[in-house]
Every structure is written in C-alpha cells, then in structure tokens.
C-alpha cells in the first residue's frame, strides 16, 4: 500500500485538498467485489472517499478492461455503434464513457495548467493582444 502518496484529499474544504504526498491518506476499508477497491480516509479533515473518485472508473458497473477497450476503440476512430458491437455493450454505454473520458481529460488538463510553472519567454494570448495594441499606438504616433 505504498502507492497512497499518489492520492490526495477530495474534500474541497480540506487544507490538504489536491496536495499529494503529504502522508495524510490512509486505507479505511476495502469494498466492492472480492474487496478489491479501497475506501480512503483523510487524517486532516476525516473525510472518506473511494480511491476511484475523480476517475472514469468511479461508480462504474463495467470491468476496467471493458472501459479501457471502449476508449481504445473510440480512439482508433471507430464509431459508437461499431464500438458497442465489438465490445459487446450498448452504444449508449459507449457514448456515456466517451463523454466521461472527455470530461475527465478536461479536468486533468485544467489541473495541470493551474499547477504548471509560468513560462517567462512565451506570453499568454492576453499579453500578446496588449502588446499589439501598444505597437499600433506607437505606429500611429510615429506616422502622425
């Protein structure tokens, strides 16, 4: 159970929310078929949450292999109905997991952007827009 460092508290009101590797997460219990999933516990805020919370597998009734297979088929360019036939699930299930994967990817992207260091050389779009306005003003003054 050394991999607990990759988990963080899911409670937005916890001071350790989103902070990994703080040693504040413990295993509270095991649940699910064959007791294969862990119920985690934050020592700081006393909140309990599943190790799958915040992932595409949370509250999933399909085996992980099936979900991964669905997403691999969609990634290869197969349509929803074709993927459903190949994986032997309903096409609405394929649509639901594709949507969940997209939402999860968007949240992950936003988190990575938020916590990534700011690069000094590359300006943001807003800064580029401000520079363009300043350049236009200077050109008007020089020509006028």
The answer to whether the beta carbons of residues 80 and 95 sit under 8 Å apart is yes
pLDDT tens digit string along 98-120? 999 998 888 888 877 776 776 66
**3 state DSSP class of 133:** helix
pLDDT tens digit string along 53-111? 877 888 888 888 999 999 999 999 999 999 999 999 999 999 999 999 998 888 888 87
| DSSP line for 42-71 | ETTT--EEETTTTSTTTT--S-HHHHHHHH
Q: Is the pTM of this model over 0.75?
A: no
Q: What is the CA radius of gyration of the chain?
A: 23
The answer to whether the beta carbons of residues 97 and 75 sit under 8 Å apart is no
């Amino acid at each position: 159970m050394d991999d607990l460092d990759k988990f963080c508290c899911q409670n937005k009101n916890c001071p350790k929310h989103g902070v990994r590797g703080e040693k504040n997460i413990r295993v509270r219990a095991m649940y699910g078929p064959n007791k294969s999933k862990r119920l985690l516990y934050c020592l700081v805020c006393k909140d309990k949450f599943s190790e799958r919370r915040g992932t595409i597998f949370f509250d999933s009734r399909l085996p992980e292999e099936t979900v991964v297979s669905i997403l691999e088929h969609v990634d290869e360019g197969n349509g929803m109905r074709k993927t459903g036939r190949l994986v032997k699930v309903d096409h609405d299930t394929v649509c639901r997991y594709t949507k969940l994967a997209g939402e999860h990817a968007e949240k992950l992207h936003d988190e990575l952007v938020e916590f990534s260091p700011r690069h000094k050389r590359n300006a943001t779009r807003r800064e580029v827009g401000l520079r363009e306005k300043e350049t236009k003003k200077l050109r008007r003054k020089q020509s006028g």
